[in-house]
Structure 1
Amino acid sequence: MRARELAADLHAEVADAPIISPHGHVDPRLLADDIPFRDPAELFLIRDHYVTRLLHASGVSLGDLGLDRGRAVDPREAWRILAAHWHRFAGTASGYWLTDELTTLFGVDEELSPETSDRIYDRVATALAEPGFRPRALFDRFRIEVLATTDDPLDDLAPHAQLAADPSFSGRVLPTFRPDAYLDPEASGFAERVERLLAATGQPATLAGYLEALRARRAYFIEHGAVSADHGVVEPFTTDLDAGTAEELFRSALAGTADAAASRVFRGHMLFQMARMSVSDGLVMTVHPGVHRNHHRPTFERFGPDTGHDIPVATEYTKNLQPLLNAFGTAPGFHLVLFAVDETVSSREVAPLAGFYPSVYIGAPWWFLDAPDAIQRWRSAVTETAGFYRSSGFIDDTRAFLSIPARHDTARRSDAAFLARLVVEGRVSLPTARRVIRDLVDTIPREVFKL
């Protein structure tokens, strides 16, 4: 009972604190144009692959949910499908988030079911037509102070510039440099992307020109407020090649003749180069590895990426990052945030790396692990080795705009419970616990992401 009371007390310290979201996938045009949400199905289903993937696993066609390009679906019918399968979300993080959104934002006080489906749909649809449910109004209501997006290196960042120049918008919406498709010879359209990159920056088709083009685009992002560069690699392998070998690999990659082994080496060299650039230009380097993207080819071909069929794989950091960390691990001002979907790597590698290298920070649980029990496991796995202050602060990593406050509140409650246990066990004093819980939602993400 004492731990529960302490947890509630600690949570109250940060329950209303502003949200700092330094990594996510909300479309900046949503806020720049203040586009109203179309309907409840678009809001709760189409934008949230946590939801669509579990429905698909239950035998529902993604096309019937509205994900099929070129096929119109009645949003009320899609909502009825969610209602019919609502019981399947019991115990899941997405079920918790959806319940929180319906209750907190829309005042829904009954369980979603086939019997209540239309009634709840109408309630949500009516609210979405009100000015208070436009994206900018919700941004203010959610107390979001910083929201980072994820952007293609050749994006003109016009929505970010529009928001930054708008005196009626007080928040910070920051772009994030995401160059994966321009660094991987095995990525679809790699050569065409690199050609466009070189043309946009006026650089020659040489390795030196390619590197300079990437530097130029990073500088453009920094001019528009970017604080980080994100790397969604499968394997965080790094290597530093001599100039001749790197040039040869670059030419073969452009020509489409690089085999799998050569492509891996080139990716490793470019991840190393991205670290070198972060040391130079100050962008925080975040690494999100260990996900097999688009695991089900037929789904990818019909519905495209980010539709729920990405599957985690094992991750190894210690050996893969050794070349990078030997070169830059103690470089002043370099920040490297390491995330993992493979839970085993947190205590075995990430926490020990962050417990030695001043540049390394432990990324928060993400994707399949941003849930109450997983957050508790993660805290237990990393804290005894590296403490709280070598972690990144919470990362919501979401496209589902309305779920942002629920996700951050989940992390705050989980951290409050973890700290309360430490206080009860006499391992942390209550004044220290109060400081830590406040720093986890404010000071720590500001410092790690140079905000």
Structure 2
Amino acid sequence: MPLPRRRDPDRLLPADPRTRDIARDLYRSVSDAPIISPHGHVPVEWLRDDTPFSDPADLLVTHDHYVTRLLHAAGVDYADLGLGGHAADPRDVWRILASHWHLFTGTASGYWLEEEFAEILGVEGAFGPDTADHFFDVISERLASPEYRPRALFEKFGIEVLATTDDPLDDLSAHASLRDVLPGRVLPTFRPDKYLDPDAELFASNIEALLGATAQPTSFAGYLRALKERRAHFIANGAVSADHGVQQPETADIDPLEASRLFDAVVEGSASVAGKAAFRAHMLLQMARMSVDDGLVMTVHAGVFRNHNSQTKRAFGSDTGHDLPVPTDFVRGLRPLLERYGLERNFHLVLFAVDETVYSREIAPLAGFYPSVFIGAPWWFLDAPDAMARFRSAVTETAGFSRSSGFIDDTRAFLSIPARHDTARRADAAFLARFVAEGRIQSRDAERVIADSVSGQPRRVFKL
């Protein structure tokens, strides 16, 4: 039975009537297309265990840093939201959100939550302080029903591919248990940051665990073999990509003897700041080399200063909303990597940024020359309707549509996946409709492009 709707069916489409008519047709052509999500952070255990979501606050507030950071900016104590292990009554957390709901007007997170309320959870009416308890009760009832358990929602959302993000030492048994259970595929993603970055917490212990798990000696050669072995394990369990989160996209091509010396120093804890930076940059290049060899798509998410506030980090941990964007330099930083592997046809390198200035200046020109480079979709602070339009304007005239990754939701907020993909489809329909209305492309080309953006392009880029 279709859920009740209260949203404008033409939301995010152009205001001009003629352009809106074009956009409406384009959007409708892909609105029900399956969801391909080749990079995200939904815990695989949710699908393996198929446990009902506990309550509205835990699902939609406490673990969503898009939401908690804006509440924090308004003076809400993170402890009152249940972060950092602090006990908080879910209904009280929900009421805090409702009492501050006006702060989310015009924000992407406010838009997504309204999408989830109306289109997924089927709650009618306006959310706010007066309706907070009503929304909490209705959503709680929904979450307790079999139709809203994770596997049922996976099927309801029309997910064809969902990639998780996983530690290299994960045995991936949860993924294996889901094989042939769901109507779509759940794929692991190799995320080796804490084994590559000497500044990562417990770096030496991480390396010891990696080498122990693969029975490799404590040497640079053994370390590389260990990483290669774990990548092979991921590939055997369906992985198609390896993801790398870095503050700066720096790469370095270092002599093997020097690389070995640096490895010894970073493991011992004696490396200088410059030495750690050189090792980190060389390992990003080594990950590209391995992707050339084993075929894993290499994604790089750059430009985030993690844990900007040390007091918040100590009290509430990482991923609680205090990561902030910084400028990046892809052209100079990636040149050593691209000198070695940029022309390799089997190598796919997808670049994501939160520094909008690099789209037209660096990433689109790189993707417009190197066959290996693809433009990652707007990410994190930029995965919002207006930012998506700016992204298309910044990259299309230089690199066209074919050099982009297709939409990537990159989320842990499971219920927001269809909302985010729908947002991207509407934003692309609006952008293409303007091109058609201005006589810049033909309608048939716009239809082809938007269909390709939700299916063909992500399949090609991520080798699906």
Question: TM-score when scaled to structure 2?
Answer: 0.96
User: Which amino acid counterpart does residue 39 of structure 1 have in structure 2?
Assistant: D
Percent identity over the alignment is: 64
Distance in structure 1 (CA, Å) of the matches to 2:272 and 2:104: 43
Distance in structure 2 (CA, Å) of the matches to 1:356 and 1:47: 40
Distance in structure 1 (CA, Å) of the matches to 2:162 and 2:378: 18
Contact 2:192 2:244 in 1 (8 A): yes
Aligned to 1:406: 419
SS of structure 2 residue aligned to 1:68: helix
Please say if 1:95 is aligned against 2:110.
yes
Aligned to 2:26: 10
Please say if 1:44 is aligned against 2:60.
yes
1:232-253 superposed Cα distances (whole Å, 9 cap, x missing partner):
0111111111111101100000
SS of structure 2 residue aligned to 1:330: coil
Distance in structure 2 (CA, Å) of the matches to 1:247 and 1:33: 43
Query: Mapping of 1:122-161 within 5 angstroms?
Result: 122-161=137-176
Distance in structure 1 (CA, Å) of the matches to 2:118 and 2:37: 23
Q: 1:371 aligns with which of 367, 384, 395?
A: 384
Query: Mapping of 1:155-170 within 5 angstroms?
Result: 155-164=170-179, 167-170=180-183
Give the deviation of 1:317 after TM superposition: 0.5
Please say if 1:215 is aligned against 2:228.
yes
Aligned to 1:31: 47
SS of structure 2 residue aligned to 1:414: helix
Distance in structure 1 (CA, Å) of the matches to 2:337 and 2:122: 50
Q: Which moved more, 1:43-52 or 1:78-87?
A: 43-52
Contact 2:79 2:87 in 1 (8 A): no
User: Which amino acid counterpart does residue 277 of structure 1 have in structure 2?
Assistant: M
Distance in structure 1 (CA, Å) of the matches to 2:121 and 2:350: 36
Distance in structure 2 (CA, Å) of the matches to 1:200 and 1:63: 37
Aligned to 2:206: 193
Runs (5+) with no aligned partner, structure 1: none
Distance in structure 1 (CA, Å) of the matches to 2:21 and 2:65: 35
User: Which amino acid counterpart does residue 56 of structure 1 have in structure 2?
Assistant: H
Distance in structure 2 (CA, Å) of the matches to 1:144 and 1:214: 30
Contact 2:252 2:282 in 1 (8 A): yes
Give the deviation of 1:423 after TM superposition: 0.3
Query: Mapping of 1:426-441 within 5 angstroms?
Result: 426-441=439-454
Give the deviation of 1:332 after TM superposition: 2.1
Give the deviation of 1:68 after TM superposition: 2.9
SS of structure 2 residue aligned to 1:254: helix
Contact 2:245 2:301 in 1 (8 A): yes
Query: Mapping of 1:331-410 within 5 angstroms?
Result: 331-410=344-423
Give the deviation of 1:213 after TM superposition: 0.2
Distance in structure 1 (CA, Å) of the matches to 2:129 and 2:387: 31
1:98-152 superposed Cα distances (whole Å, 9 cap, x missing partner):
0000011222222211111111100000111110000000000100110001111
Give the deviation of 1:170 after TM superposition: 2.1
SS of structure 2 residue aligned to 1:232: strand
Distance in structure 2 (CA, Å) of the matches to 1:171 and 1:28: 13
SS of structure 2 residue aligned to 1:318: helix
Give the deviation of 1:168 after TM superposition: 3.4
Contact 2:52 2:148 in 1 (8 A): yes
Q: 2:185 aligns with which of 160, 172, 177?
A: 172
Aligned to 1:290: 303
Q: 2:290 aligns with which of 259, 273, 277?
A: 277
1:312-331 superposed Cα distances (whole Å, 9 cap, x missing partner):
00010001111111110111
User: Which amino acid counterpart does residue 125 of structure 2 have in structure 1?
Assistant: E
Contact 2:251 2:284 in 1 (8 A): yes
Contact 2:389 2:431 in 1 (8 A): yes
1:206-259 superposed Cα distances (whole Å, 9 cap, x missing partner):
100000000000000001100000000111111111111101100000000112
User: Which amino acid counterpart does residue 448 of structure 2 have in structure 1?
Assistant: R
SS of structure 2 residue aligned to 1:319: helix
SS of structure 1 residue aligned to 2:186: strand
Superposition CA RMSD, Å: 0.7
1:373-432 superposed Cα distances (whole Å, 9 cap, x missing partner):
000000000000000000000010101000000000000000000000000111110001
Give the deviation of 1:301 after TM superposition: 1.1
Question: TM-score when scaled to structure 1?
Answer: 0.99
User: Which amino acid counterpart does residue 180 of structure 1 have in structure 2?
Assistant: D
User: Which amino acid counterpart does residue 80 of structure 2 have in structure 1?
Assistant: D
SS of structure 2 residue aligned to 1:36: coil
Aligned to 1:62: 78
Aligned to 1:121: 136
Distance in structure 2 (CA, Å) of the matches to 1:68 and 1:381: 39
Aligned to 1:111: 126
SS of structure 1 residue aligned to 2:83: coil
Distance in structure 1 (CA, Å) of the matches to 2:134 and 2:183: 35
